Amino acid sequence: MKKVGVAILGLGDVGSGVYQILTEHSGFYRSAQNVDLSVVSIFEGDAARAEQLGVPSQLLVRNVAEIATDPEVGIVVECLSDAEEAKELALACLYAGKTVVVSNSEAFAKYSGELGRTARRHNAGLLFESCVSGLPVLRTLLDGLQSNVVSRVICTVSPSMSSPEAAYRLSVLASVAFHAEIPFGKIACEETEVSAEDVSEAAVLGYAPRRLAIAKTTDGGVEVRVHPALVRCGSPLCADSSYSAVLVTGDSIGDVVLSGIGSGALPAGSIAVSDVLYAAAHDEPQYTASRGGSESAPPKLITDYRSAYFFRMTTPDDPATLSKLTSILTKSGVAVKAFVRHTPEGGKAAVALVTQEMRESTVESVVTKLNASGFVQVESVLRVVL
């Protein structure tokens, strides 16, 4: 039976989950997976936190050099909240030839090149599944869907997650999915407000709001963006907000959906531990296939997106208004998929509609024309996905 010592850097949400899982499941891993994993060292400055988690004091170290030079440590799990610290400590362990499992998405999005080069130079493994999600997305792409050319990845974004964090994660995921470098700084992040009126009108048309991270390949290039959007009620992306969902579209298999509780100590920890097990199961250093290759040209990133759109408008309570509105939309090349008009209040009618797909530039032109018409006021515009 293969015996592997594991060190953990940090006991925050991910690190505490990693520690609990490795401690409670050690017998299962020995019997079912023929690997003896044991936590032999933990880098954590908060002794009270470690004590609360039941960590034996003899496992705690104050200096990462103790981990890097410890012959018992084969795999290091980075679970730090600070990106710069995560990078520096991960590099120190890679220099020492330790396989490192990275969980800090900002650190990996910013420094993946340096981390990857260091790992290969020092014959050390590097894996980063938990940088993307609390769901096994990368392993699905690399070990399940590798026969497909992936054209689209859509992820739900937790309401508590910041747009930069979502951009870091999407950068890593899109780079793996499309085998090309997708810089996080090129990802468009929007914080469009979804009002109570939007939610109400969208529900009548069969849609609900969600924050999404989207990466798509098109004939013109690659779209990468994070923003609120409406998704069809009943869609896999419209699950309860406590759940995470990822939709991957492959050219042969079509849409594949992963869904589950993707946040919290145990879900996030379980993904990091899956990387630990993957590395432990192989004698040679393992590397999660990453961002492009030596022959990969940087993709063209486009911003004139194609999407369906939701318009919410107010118009006069005038029988001729609908005809004039339809005329503007038709002349602008807008095809309407769904439409609802509510009983007027205060002399104004509420109109909501969902269009077929069109370009962002077309939407901007249509909004300008509608607002300049003198009889339509566009209250909000949201993208519609699925």
What is the tens place of the pLDDT at every residue in 128-174? 999 998 899 999 999 999 999 999 999 999 888 999 999 999 999 99
Task: Take residue 286 and report the two structure tokens written for it.
Answer: 């393992």
Domain ranges of the chain: 2-133+265-280, 137-260, 307-385
pLDDT band of residue 206 (cuts 50, 70, 90) is very high
Kindly report each contact of residues 329-336 with a partner whose C-beta sits within 8 Å and lies 24 or more positions away, as own/partner.
329/366, 332/362, 332/365, 332/366, 332/369, 333/358, 333/362, 334/358, 334/362, 334/366
Nearest of 380, 49, 69 to residue 229 by alpha carbon: 380
Nearest of 128, 140, 173, 142 to residue 155 by alpha carbon: 173
* Burial (CB count within 10 angstroms: exposed 0-12, middle 13-18, buried 19+), residue 248: buried
* Span 264-313, pLDDT tens digits: 889 999 999 999 999 999 989 988 865 544 455 678 999 899 999 999 99
Average pLDDT (172-200) is: 94
Nearest of 202, 205, 214, 192 to residue 301 by alpha carbon: 214
pLDDT for 44 beyond 70: yes
Architecture of the 137-260 domain = 2-Layer Sandwich (3.30)
Architecture of the 307-385 domain = 2-Layer Sandwich (3.30)
Angstrom CA distances, 203 to 24, 232, 346, 376, stand at 44, 9, 23, 22
**What is the pTM for the complete model shown?**
0.94
* Span 335-366, pLDDT tens digits: 999 999 987 667 788 999 999 999 999 999 99
User: What confidence score (pLDDT) does residue 386 get?
Assistant: 80
pLDDT band of residue 127 (cuts 50, 70, 90) is very high
User: What confidence score (pLDDT) does residue 344 get?
Assistant: 67
User: What confidence score (pLDDT) does residue 309 get?
Assistant: 98
User: What confidence score (pLDDT) does residue 296 get?
Assistant: 59
* Span 52-100, pLDDT tens digits: 999 999 999 999 999 999 999 999 999 999 999 999 999 999 999 999 9
* Span 1-30, pLDDT tens digits: 999 999 999 999 999 999 999 999 999 999
Give me the DSSP letters along 362-378. HHHHHHHHHHHSSS-EE
Question: 2-133+265-280 maps to which CATH number?
Answer: 3.40.50.720
User: What confidence score (pLDDT) does residue 294 get?
Assistant: 45
Q: Check if the beta carbon of residue 10 is closer than 8 Å to that of residue 43.
A: yes
Beta-carbon contacts of residue 203 (< 8 Å; ≥ 6 apart): 233
* Span 165-175, pLDDT tens digits: 999 999 999 99
